[in-house]
Structure formats: C-alpha cells, structure tokens
Amino acid sequence: MKLVRISLLVACALAAPLAMGQNTAKIKIGLMLPYTGTYAALGNAIENGFRLYVEEKGGKIAGREVEYVKVDDESDPSKATDNVNKLVKRDNVDVLVGTVHSGVAMAMAKVAKDTGTLLIIPNAGADAVTGPMCAPNIFRSSFSSYQPAYAMGEVAAKKGGKKAVTITHKYAAGDESVRAFREAFEKNGGQVIKDLNLPFPSVEYQALLTEIASLKPDLVYTFFAGGAAVKFVKDYAAAGLKKSIPLYGAGFLTDGTLDAQGADAEGLFTTLHYADSLGTPRDNSFRLAYAKTYKLQPDVYAVQGYDAAQILGIGATAVKGDLSKKAEFATAVEAAKIDSPRGVFTLSKAHNPVQDIYLRQVVGKENKVMGVAIKALADPARGCRM
C-alpha cells in the first residue's frame, strides 16, 4: 500500500511539468561553426552573439536552461555530413545552429531535412537552403548570397562603371554572389567581361591581380570574407590597383576585418544588411552590451548569431519550450517581426530575412552607412516549394 502511494507521488511529480505544458529539461544546442581556418573569427563572433542573447534572457530559452555542444566544422564540406550526424545522432541535439561556409551549410540542411531537426543558419548564404532545399524546420537569420550582391550590381552600375571583372573563391557562395551581381549590373546597363576565381581557401591572388591589371575594367566586384578578405584588400592595394580600378564588394569584404586591413580598406564601398553606424537605440544598446561582454566591437556575424538566438527564442516561447511542435514553432517565427540590431526584419515564406541592404563606405575603423541601397529586399527563393 505504502509502495503504491510512493510510486503514485513520483508519477505525479514527473507529470507535473508536462501537465503545465512546460518542458523543464535543458535545451541542447548544437553549435556547428568554424573555429579554425579562414572563417574562424566569424564562427567566434556568431557564438558570442548567440550567447549574448541567451544571457540577456537569464541564460534560458523559453524557461529552459541551455546546454551547448560545439563542433569545429573547419569550413570543410568533406567533413560536414559526419560532423552534423554526430550532433544529431550521437549528441541528440534539439536544434542545430550553423554555419558560416555555404558548402558545409548545405550538408547540414540535407541532414536537417532528412531527420526533421530544427536548423537555424546564422551566416551561410547558399541560395539553395532557402531555395530548392527549403523546409519547414530550416531557418536563416543572415542573408542569401543573392541579397547583398544584387544590391551592389545596381549600385555599381549607377556609380558609372560599364565594364566589370568579378573575383571570388570557387564555391557556392562565391558563384552565387557573382551571379546575382551580374544579374543586377547587366539589367542596369553594365557588362561583366570576366569572372576570375581561385579554389577555397587559397589566398594566392597575385596572378589574378595581374590579369585584372591587364583587363583594365572600370571596376572590380568581389566576394571574400574573413582572413581571405583581409589579404585580398591588402594585396589589391599593394598591386597598385586601388588607385586605378575601384573595388566593390559584398560587405563581408570589410566586416570584422578593418583592424587588420588598416588604410588599405579606406574608402571602399560595399553593400550589406548591417553597418557600424546605424545609430538606432536598438543597435546602440546591442553594441554596448556586446563590447562590455567581450571587449570587442560587434560585426555582422555577431548580429546574425544574436538573431539566430532570437529566432529560437520566439519559436520556443510559442511552443512553451516543446521543440517537438515544429509546425507551431514555424508559424510563430513566420509571423514574427524580429527586432534585430540591423533593423526590424521578417522571414519570407522560405524562411530567409526580408531586409534592407545598406550601402556602406569604410571611414577609419567603421563601415559607415551611406544610405539604403534596396529597401526590404527579399530573396527570390527560386525552387522553394513549401
């Protein structure tokens, strides 16, 4: 009799949180990011931004404490499927957050789609993940390759350049960035006369810079990021090209890189969904909190990490922490106005940010806002059926 009463008590205690509709176990978050290699600084900034949001919420998401499981993906697509499977199958994470490199992100999206695991992409631009690979459980807090590049195509054509050469790493993000630049540049009367590229993550730019000098275009458009962007901007200036052929880029070229690029970046024009001098109360308080916590200035990657956590927070709160309710999670996120340091944005039906793309210019150690290149730009989500 006594035994029955005790087991009844235990059963009630176990059922109580569920009866109240609240799961109290820790949320396991798989952070799959580059912590080594050319994109290492980007991975760290994303994690910092993500943790900052969670700390602002008392270390919890929807009332559940958070546990992180981290994997260094090395920006290596050949290791990506194994890495993501470890997080999903061995560590049983509730949600995947990653990554920076588009090739790795596509492997993550495939596993997320096959297993139904929630995935929030805090950087990688691969058009496919909110295009043909789009899925109800896949979200992006950053941008598609198309967005900053398309905006720069318009800007560059209007700034008077007729003939452009493009240069980038040969992989999805680079190819897509160049394609979207060309689409807008040629629609606005320009012509891309040559696409140059080199394998990721090579930074052997010399032969290509020599080719640019002999092609003599009106301007160069480029997609490089992280350590590769630092070296490209320095090599471009050292080759004497900065004075003669204006260099334009998707904003990654000068984001999180200005300390290392120094005077060689001064004056460069780029387009991106963030800038250093927005001056809004929301951005000011974010920048202050980030600088206080990490003794570092935030960049676009920090913002994207912060907003990945916001997306998780919005969805998880709507389902009272029960992340198995994927459809309700998605409905809440789809309806949300996300209060980002970049400015408020919404997610498209394909779950990619609809956002303003700023024109920025490097002034000292800042990517200063010169205006909005395109307002509320949505990715065309070509191939997404959802």
Residues that bind ligand PHB (CB under 6 A): 39, 42, 100-102, 123-126, 173, 225, 252
Question: By the 8 A CB rule, do 360 and 269 touch?
Answer: yes
What's the closest the beta carbon of residue 83 comes to ligand PHB, in angstroms?
16
Decide whether 157 or 173 has the Cβ nearer to ligand PHB: 173
Structure tokens that stand for 288 in this block: 């202050």
What's the closest the beta carbon of residue 253 comes to ligand PHB, in angstroms?
9
* Segments in 90-218 forming alpha helices (H): 102-115, 146-158, 172-187, 206-215
Run of H or E residues at 235 = helix 226-238
| CA distances to 34, 122, 182, 203, 266 from 43, in Å | 5, 9, 29, 19, 25
Decide whether 27 or 109 has the Cβ nearer to ligand PHB: 109
What's the closest the beta carbon of residue 210 comes to ligand PHB, in angstroms?
26
3-class secondary-structure state, position 58: coil
What's the closest the beta carbon of residue 180 comes to ligand PHB, in angstroms?
13
Decide whether 297 or 331 has the Cβ nearer to ligand PHB: 297
Decide whether 107 or 330 has the Cβ nearer to ligand PHB: 107
Decide whether 103 or 315 has the Cβ nearer to ligand PHB: 103
Phi (first) and psi of residue 110, to 5 degrees: -65, -45
What one-letter code names the amino acid at 202? S
What's the closest the beta carbon of residue 252 comes to ligand PHB, in angstroms?
4
Q: Which residues pair with 371 in a beta bridge?
A: 359
- Say which residue the tokens 């992006």 belong to: 140
Decide whether 122 or 343 has the Cβ nearer to ligand PHB: 122
* Residue with smallest beta-carbon separation from ligand PHB: 225
3-class secondary-structure state, position 205: coil
What's the closest the beta carbon of residue 126 comes to ligand PHB, in angstroms?
6
Closest by CA position to 182, among listed 205, 210, 154: 154
Phi (first) and psi of residue 349, to 5 degrees: -60, -30
